[in-house]
Amino acid sequence: MKLGKISVIGVGLVLLVVALFIYTQDSRKEEKAYNPPQMSQKQYDVLLKEVDDIQKLLAKKGGFYEQVAEEMKKEGYNYSIAGIIYSKDDIRLNIIVPNNNVVTAQEQEQVNKIFKDAIIKNNLDPLAFKIEVTQGG
pTM: predicted TM-score of the whole model, two decimal places: 0.65
Cα Rg of the chain (Å, integer): 27
Return the amino acid letter for 20.
Answer: L
Distance from C-alpha of 32 to C-alpha of 50, rounded to nearest angstrom: 29
Distance from C-alpha of 39 to C-alpha of 30, rounded to nearest angstrom: 21
Return the amino acid letter for 31.
Answer: E
pLDDT tens per residue, range 81-126: 888 898 889 999 999 887 666 778 888 899 999 999 999 999 999 9
Question: First and final CA of the chain: distance in angstroms?
Answer: 70
